[in-house]
Structures are given as structure tokens and as C-alpha cells.
């Protein structure tokens, strides 16, 4: 009887150990599946819906501050059309930005940064993009400045005091006068910090002639996500452009 009980106990212990081992494997499998699904969903969101960037310069002050983190709606402009006043992120059309130095990274650091970029938590490519406010759509005639220092779009003066930053004592929204007509499938963009923004005005000697091709637009910035003290929905100020007629075809 003793030998029988001992054998039974040994078998039971083995079965218990086996069940524990199987349970551990199932747990690990479930964790791996959850992580894989999370990565797939994150990649899908980053590829088709939203993306994160950080602000490296003061060209959009005071709307955006240096090192702000923003969330960009990638449905614009392929699904949702761009509106005047939208704050858009776009790839360098060519010659707008100086060559960016590449900081050396260890293999581990580079691997971690790649994983974070895949799931949309890294903003490593922010230095290859620009962010400005859309002033002119295809066909618009954009000019500055009238007798009151205002910019006009299709002959309509804009009251931009809500978002434009000007030096103390300045009344003109641009230090330099200009008059352009926006070509098809292009945008005329300007920084809110008008006297410290290398925008469309100052890139007319580049291949894009200062205009931003629609295909270079990554999306519309709609939210300041970091720091938490600056959580803000970004406005396109529809009242500023409400009186502007539709662009000519």
C-alpha cells in the first residue's frame, strides 16, 4: 500500500508540474500575442490615422513652443481636404531645411528608437519635416501688405491678430511685401512667428518656388499632447478666412 500511495503521489506531482508549465507557456503566448496585436494596431494607426511630432524651432510661436509634442491627423489631405488656417506638417519640398546632422547611436539605442518609431512613440523624423499655417490654397492670390499692414487673400484682408506673433511696435504682418498666385496642387504656408519663420516667403529660390506640394503634406496638426500643461486643440481660425472667396480654377 505504501508503494502504491507513493507512486500515486509522484504521478500527481508530475501532472501538477506539467499543468503549471503548460499554464506558464500559455501565459507567455498570450502576452506575446497581445504585444504583437498592439504593435500591429499602432503601426496601422501611425500609417493611416495619426502621428506624433515634436517642435524643434520657434517659427510657430506663440501657437507652438519649442519642444511641444503634437498629434497630426494623417487623413488630411487625402481624405479630409485642407482648409485655410490649418496648421500642417509637411516634408521638406527641397532646400527649405539645411542638411540635418545624424547623431551617432549605439546598436541598442538605434534598435529601441526604431521600435518606438514603429509604434508611433518616437518623433525621430521631426527634423526632416516642417510645420506652418496654410494661408493660400490652389488658385488663391496671396499678397502683403495693404495700407494697414494686413495680408490679403483674393483681395480680402485678414485679421490675424489671434495667432500672429509680431515684434514690439510692428504693425505689418510681414517684413517683406509679396504677391503670389498659388499653383494647382500647391499651398502657400507661413509661420505664426512672422518675423522669425523661413516659410513660403523666403523659399522662392528653391525648386518648389516657395509653394508646398500637396503630396508632401503629412497631415494637419490638431492637438498639443505634451507637456500636459499645454494640452490644446489647435484651431484653424475659420472666422479669419470666412470672407475669402473660393480660389479661382
Residues forming the active site:
59, 132
Grid cell at residue 18? 506539467
Grid cell at residue 111? 534598435
Q: Are 61 and 192 in contact (CB under 8 A)?
A: yes
Judging by beta carbons within 10 Å of its beta carbon (0-12, 13-18, 19+), is residue 46 exposed, middle or buried? middle
∠61-137-133 over CA atoms, to 5°?
Answer: 10
Find, among 76, 65, 189, 183, the residue nearest to 133 by Cα: 189
Q: Are 148 and 103 in contact (CB under 8 A)?
A: no
Residue 225: C-alpha distances to residues 64, 68, 76, 234 (Å):
11, 8, 19, 11
Grid cell at residue 195? 518675423
β-strands 69-73, 212-213: how paired? unpaired
DSSP state letters, 132-196: EEEEE-TT-EEEE--TTS-EEETTEE---TTT-B--TT---S-SS-EEEEPPTTEEEEE-SBTTS
Amino acid at each position: 500500500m505504501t508503494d502504491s500511495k507513493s507512486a500515486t503521489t509522484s504521478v500527481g506531482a508530475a501532472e501538477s508540474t506539467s499543468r503549471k508549465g503548460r499554464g506558464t507557456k500559455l501565459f507567455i503566448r498570450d502576452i506575446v500575442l497581445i504585444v504583437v496585436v498592439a504593435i500591429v494596431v499602432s503601426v496601422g494607426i501611425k500609417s493611416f490615422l495619426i502621428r506624433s511630432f515634436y517642435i524643434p524651432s520657434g517659427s510657430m510661436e506663440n501657437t507652438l513652443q519649442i519642444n511641444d509634442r503634437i498629434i497630426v491627423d494623417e487623413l488630411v489631405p487625402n481624405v479630409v481636404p485642407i482648409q485655410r488656417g490649418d496648421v500642417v506638417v509637411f516634408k521638406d519640398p527641397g532646400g527649405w531645411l539645411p542638411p540635418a546632422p545624424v547623431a551617432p547611436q549605439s546598436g541598442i539605442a538605434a534598435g529601441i528608437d526604431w521600435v518606438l518609431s514603429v509604434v508611433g512613440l518616437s518623433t525621430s523624423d521631426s527634423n526632416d519635416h516642417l510645420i506652418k499655417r496654410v494661408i493660400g490654397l490652389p488658385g488663391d492670390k496671396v499678397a502683403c501688405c495693404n495700407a494697414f499692414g494686413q495680408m490679403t487673400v483674393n483681395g480680402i484682408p485678414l485679421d490675424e491678430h489671434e495667432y500672429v506673433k509680431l515684434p514690439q511696435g510692428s504693425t505689418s504682418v510681414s517684413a517683406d511685401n509679396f504677391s503670389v498666385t498659388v499653383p494647382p496642387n500647391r499651398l502657400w504656408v507661413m509661420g505664426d512667428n512672422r518675423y522669425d519663420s523661413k516659410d513660403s516667403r523666403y523659399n522662392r529660390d528653391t525648386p518648389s518656388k516657395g509653394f508646398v506640394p500637396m503630396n508632401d503634406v503629412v497631415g494637419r496638426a490638431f492637438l498639443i499632447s505634451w507637456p500636459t500643461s499645454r494640452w490644446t486643440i489647435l484651431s484653424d481660425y475659420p472666422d479669419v478666412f470666412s470672407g475669402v472667396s473660393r480660389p479661382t480654377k
